[in-house]
Amino acid sequence: MAWNEPGGGGNRDPWGEKGGGDQGPPDLDEVVRKVQERLGSLFGGKGSGSGGGRSGGGGQLGGRLVGILVGIVVVIWLATGIYIIGPAERGVELRFGAYSDTTAPGPHWHIPFPVETVVKVNVDEVSTFTHKASMLTQDENIVELELTVQSRIQDAADYLFQDQDPNKTLRDATETVVRTTIGASKLDFILTEGRGAIATQIQNRVQDLMNEYKTGLLVTTVNMQPARPPEQVKDAFDDAIKAREDKERIENTAEAYANEILPQARGEAARAVADAKAYRDRVIAEAEGQTSRFLAVLTEYQRAPQVTRERLYLETMQEVLQSSSTVVLDMPEGNSVMYLPIDQILRHSRGAAAGDANTNNRSSSRTSSDTSNDGASSSIRTVSRERSARR
């Protein structure tokens, strides 16, 4: 039966009151009182008593309940200040919108909103952009250049607050530095061995500008593609590059040949110097030996001049005549000179003994030689005696 139907149940309203004839809205104070009584019964309060006692107990219970609710809300609000920073992130704390602190990876706590807020910044993310342009070199040539710049966030606070658009600043600084660097370099240097040096120079200069502007960015890599001339003159530049490569190849070949020849030449020069030194030492030694012999002969000559002269004469004549087959005898009387054909005699004796055995030939040859040598020695002694007698 509905609560507002006539009858026994129709005198009861939804708030549990026995109704009279009044069908107006329920009293809010009564509703609050009933709620307080029910909560008081739940928390151990008394739900009966006089009207004044129920009113005082309900006021205390309401104040306690409000405090509990407020405490729970405060705890939940404080718990919202807990946050965790990932390994690749940095946390920037803002207090009423102003920079307060930068936090490292790990769990942290800050005063919850609206007092403080946290902005998480990924500092390990690498940003890449490509710059391509045609530029004028120092020697007034046009070159097309393309390079790739990679960067990441180094300082999260500077990245957020010191520059309005750090990435745009990086692009503008890169273009400025590239034009300045290429404008101060010659085309040959850019096209050949200068690519690595130019890329390093551009990276250092761009990083200096980023530090000066406090963008919080770190330029990690600058990769420069091989520079190329404009399409209109590409063929001429290709010919020039080919000629330069041929020149380098020929120079390398010549250097290799020089490295091969020079050690040989140095070795031959060292050997010639060593031979010259050896010849010098040998000549000096021979000269010193001859000098020593001459001084020794001089000493003996000073002691016995006659004997020394005769000895020197005999040694000289023996040295001269030992290789000669002609003997000339100086007779003591008369002006005639006897010629003794020793060479013919020796040849005749050798021809006569040709039919003998080899042993006999060798023995007869030694005999003839000894005879001729004895004859020559006796003749030399005879001549020396005759000359001594004449003196």
Residue 160 located in a structural domain: yes
The tens digit of pLDDT for each residue in 256-286 reads 999 999 999 999 999 999 999 999 999 999 9
Q: Are residues 145 and 214 in the same domain?
A: yes
Model pLDDT for residues 350-388, shown as the tens digit of each residue: 766 665 545 554 554 444 444 444 544 444 444 444 444
Domain-terminating residue out of 229, 251, 270: 229
**Better-scored residue on pLDDT, 92 or 360:** 92
Q: Does the residue 24 lie in any domain?
A: no
On whether residue 311 sits in a domain, the answer given is no
Whether residue 286 lies inside any domain: the answer is yes
pLDDT band of residue 297 (cuts 50, 70, 90) is confident
User: What is the pLDDT at residue 354?
Assistant: 62
Q: What is the pLDDT of residue 81?
A: 86
What is the residue range of 276's domain? 235-303
CA distance 225 to 196: 10
Structural domain includes residue 90? yes
Asked if residue 224 is part of any domain, the answer here is yes
Q: Could you tell me if 255 and 289 lie in one domain?
A: yes
Task: Provide the domain count of the chain.
Answer: 5
Domain annotation covers residue 374: yes
Q: What is the pLDDT of residue 171?
A: 94
Range from 30-34, 82-86, 202-206, 273-277 carrying the lowest mean pLDDT: 30-34
Within this chain, do residues 136 and 203 fall inside the same structural domain, yes or no?
A: yes
Same domain, 259 and 203: no
Average pLDDT, the chain: 77
Looking at 229, 248, 266, the residue that finishes a domain is: 229
| 195 and 239 share one domain | no
Q: Which residues of 121-136 are buried (b: 16+ CB within 10 A; e: fewer)?
A: bebeeeeeeebeeebe
Residue 143: which region, alpha, beta or left (left: phi > 0; alpha: psi -120 to 50)?
beta
| Claim to verify: residue 131 and residue 209 sit in the same structural domain | yes
The verdict on 75 and 86 lying in the same domain is: no
**Within-domain flag for 21:** no
Q: Are 139 and 197 members of one domain?
A: yes
pTM for the model:
0.48
Is residue 95 located within the same domain as residue 160? no
Q: What is the CATH number of the domain that holds 139?
A: 3.30.479.30
Q: Which residue has the tokens 């250097």?
A: 255
Considering the domain architecture, whether residues 176 and 206 belong to the same structural domain is answered as yes
Decide: 183 and 136 in contact? Cβ < 8 Å.
yes
257 and 296 share one domain: yes
